Amino acid sequence: MKLYQSAGMDESVTGEPTTQPATALLVLGCPQVPVQTSIALYLINRLKKAGIVPTVAGNKAANTLLVIADPDRHYLGEVMDLDRAVVMITEKKRDFDRCFVFIHNDAGVTYAGTMSAISKAKVYAIIYGEHYEDLQKQIDFPCTTIAAKAVHNPLPLKKALDEVAPWAA
Amino acid sequence: MGCVESMDYEIVLRDATFKESRDFIKKTYAEFRDVQPGFKVFDTHVIGLPPIAIGLDGDFVIFPFTKPCHGTFLLRVEDKDEAARLRALKK
């Protein structure tokens, strides 16, 4: 971790170095494309199994879709408002090791570019939807792209995600 | 960018991509400043692909505002002090 709050190596009260778990931020886009919620829960599960602590940031609708789908919080950990996440990272109050940005429209590309600029995290652009190829061409900032034509069926995007296996990187 | 909704703003451009919005500012306004994502305009941290162009037109500030479901809008807000602060930034 690179950060200010839950950074990698700290010292315990005994002076022994302690290791903080790696962290990841999932930046959700507009939830109008169905695969986003499914892939977000899948990714959270894979990250947690790899010992990475996931935090979700989205607008109210995107967050609520996840919270309602996981009432006992088997998968979800911290969920926060997207604007608040941007403020905290910009003001260097918090950062993450990995940042996954869900992209199916131009706003998603804009948020990914913003995260690439303000965060020290390794950025992954998860691109899907009808126009995923056009959106992929707009990515001109440092990040790893994971892309598939997926709207209702999450399997093509799951396959692309599994090939990159960002939880193992 | 919570306080934008409470501003007295005019929407200059909508339904454009972020890059189209940036080009619009640079072509339309003789004065503009390039800033990085997260830079504060009024009380909001701007979202955008760097560099983000902020237009200046007299006492008016023209800046992009992006929401996940609605894309990027260009907003025009009158504020003499904020325009002066931005004008004082290095080009």
User: Phi then psi for B87, rounded to 5 degrees?
Assistant: -65, -30
pLDDT over 70 percentage in chain B: 97
> Edge to edge, what strands does the sheet with A144-147 contain?
A78-81, A53-58, A23-27, A98-103, A122-127, A144-147
The helix (H) or strand (E) run that includes residue A79 is: strand A78-81
Instruction: State the residue for tokens 């992006």.
Output: B66
Q: What percent of chain A has pLDDT over 90?
A: 88
A108:B67 CB<8 A: no
Residue B71 to residue A106, Cβ atoms within 8 A: yes
Report B:20-79 residues touching A (Cβ under 8 A). Answer: 36-38, 45, 47-50, 66-72
A7 vs B81, more confident: B81
> What's residue A12's pLDDT?
56
DSSP string covering B17-77: -HHHHHHHHHHH-SEEEEE-TT-EETTEEPP-SSSEEEEEETTEEEEEEEETTTEEEEEEE
> A-chain residues within 8 Å CB-CB of B68?
28-30, 58-59, 62, 82, 107-108, 111
Per the listing, tokens 């911290």 go with: A78
B82 CB-near residues (< 8 Å, 6+ apart):
B41, B42, B61
- Cα A139-A144-A150 angle, rounded to 5 deg: 75
- At B4, the pLDDT band (50, 70, 90 cuts) reads confident
B17 contacts in A (CB within 8 Å)?
106, 138
CB neighbourhood size of A135 (10 A): 22
For A115-151, write each residue's pLDDT tens digit.
Answer: 999 999 999 999 999 999 999 999 999 999 999 999 9
Nearest to B15 by CA among B67, B70, B65: B70
State how many domains chain B has.
1
Q: How confident is the model at residue A17 (pLDDT cuts 50, 70, 90)?
A: low
Q: Is A107's CB within 8 Å of B70's CB?
A: yes
The closest of A42, A27, A25 to A165, measured between CA atoms, is A42
Average pLDDT on A153-167 reads: 98
pLDDT of residue A131: 95
Q: Does the structure's ipTM exceed the value 0.85?
A: yes
**Do A52 and A97 meet the contact criterion of CB atoms below 8 Å apart?**
yes
With vertex at residue B19, the alpha carbon angle to CA B14 and CA B25, rounded to the nearest 5 degrees, is 70
Show residues of chain B in contact with A80, CB under 8 Å: none
- DSSP state letters, A107-139: HHHHHHHHHHHH--SEEEEEE-STTHHHHHHT-
- Per-domain residue ranges for chain A? 25-164
Report the length, in residues, of chain A: 169
**Contact (CB<8Å) A110/B48:** yes
Of B1, B37, B68, the CB nearest to A113: B37
pLDDT by residue (tens digit) across A67-108?
A: 999 999 999 999 999 999 999 999 999 999 999 999 999 999
Of the candidate CATH numbers 3.40.50.10160, 3.10.440.10, 2.40.30.10, 3.90.1300.10, the domain formed by A25-164 belongs to 3.40.50.10160
Is A83–B48 a contact, with Cβ atoms under 8 angstroms apart? Answer: no
**Out of A28, A105, A117, closest to residue B71 by CB:** A105
Tokens of A88: 């905290």
Q: How far is CA A129 from CA A106, A150, A151, B64, in A?
A: 12, 5, 5, 24
Minimal Cα–Cα distance from A135 to chain B, Å? 11
Q: Do B38 and A113 touch (CB under 8 A)?
A: no
Q: How confident is the model at residue B15 (pLDDT cuts 50, 70, 90)?
A: confident
Query: What are residue A117's DSSP bridge partners?
Result: none
Task: For residue A106, give the nearest of B1, B38, B72 by CB distance.
Answer: B72
- Please determine, for residue B32, whether its predicted confidence score (pLDDT) is greater than 70: yes
Q: Is residue A14 predicted with pLDDT exceeding 70?
A: no
Task: Please state, in angstroms and rounded to a whole number, the distance separating the CA atoms of residues B39 and B46.
Answer: 6
